Amino acid sequence: MLAQSCAFKRIDRSKNIVYLPATASRVEQTLNVFSPRKKQGGEVMIFVHGGNWNSGRKGLYSFFGTRFARKGVTTVVVDYPKSPAAGYDEMAIDIAEAVKWVSLHIGDYGGDTGKIFISGHSAGGHLAALVAIKPEYFQRLKMANPLKGIVLIDAAGLDMYTYLKEESFEEGHTYLKTFGTDPASWKAASAMYFLHKDMPPMLIYRGGRTYLSIEQSHDRFISALKNFVPAPDYHVLKGKKHVPMILQFFNSSNPRFAEIISFMKNKSRAEK
């Protein structure tokens, strides 16, 4: 009954909001906000979509924003520049700008600026983790990290350094266009090498039948994370492949919703 009632809750959709205006050297970037119509002051989820760093768009993920908003979470789905027009660092810089916009404006849409979380699937998980964990992105914006937690959904690229070293791609490969050819750049792109004691708490999901590269990078990431968090909040979903890890959110009764919202509420309370 709860899932059915949530499906009929009315929400507001505010689309194509400019969070980063165009300049001579930069393409305009926009986001969509999905907000509960009657609830004020609740948790906020910023979602970064996947697409191999070279494809995808926010409009494909309205189902994610809609379903979380119907469950009381103000949800922001962001666009960002793609490879080969942009490298990973430009993508991360723009996502940090989106987080800044949310921290300044989400109160106008009913969200609580003190309860902002970030999530991402696949390449979006890589970018969400990098922005949330690596201090330089908010240092560039001269602001404190406003994120209270991170939710990773079968994130790719948590250790691009090891992956790219082992694969030895030929010149022109899409990943080399995104991450460059210098191993130092690969390490700079990998959230695993920037874990620290003051980073936001994480809820991490991996598909039990995901790509081998994602499985291996998660193994290394979780091992490194245990140096700071002895018992990571890490869940391997048996039988789930990579794409179904995000498609599961089409189902309003999927238990991930309750788990994620509980995580957000608990971390919001812990901040008080």
Ordered DSSP codes for 49-76? --STTT---GGGGHHHHHHHHHTT-EEE
Buried b (16+ CB within 10 A) or exposed e, 12-45: eeeeebebbeeeeeeeebbbbbbbbeebeebbbb
Q: Is 62:77 a contact under the CB 8 Å cutoff?
A: yes
Question: Would you place residue 40 in the very low, low, confident or very high pLDDT band (cuts 50, 70, 90)?
Answer: confident
Residue 43 has pLDDT above 50, yes or no: yes
Question: Would you place residue 57 in the very low, low, confident or very high pLDDT band (cuts 50, 70, 90)?
Answer: very high
Give me the count of residues in the chain: 272
Beta strands, E only, 172-261: 202-207, 233-237
pLDDT of residue 2: 43
**What does the pLDDT average to over 110-121?**
97
Residue 3 has pLDDT above 50, yes or no: no
Q: Please give the tally of structural domains in the chain.
A: 1
Residue 127 has pLDDT above 70, yes or no: yes
**What does the pLDDT average to over 241-257?**
98
Q: Domain containing 116 — which CATH number?
A: 3.40.50.1820
Position 254, amino acid: N
pLDDT of residue 272: 55
**What does the pLDDT average to over 264-272?**
82
**What does the pLDDT average to over 180-186?**
98
This prediction's pTM: 0.96
Beta strands, E only, 96-197: 111-122, 147-155
Domain extent for 88: 2-271
pLDDT of residue 269: 76
Question: Would you place residue 7 in the very low, low, confident or very high pLDDT band (cuts 50, 70, 90)?
Answer: low
Average pLDDT, the chain: 95
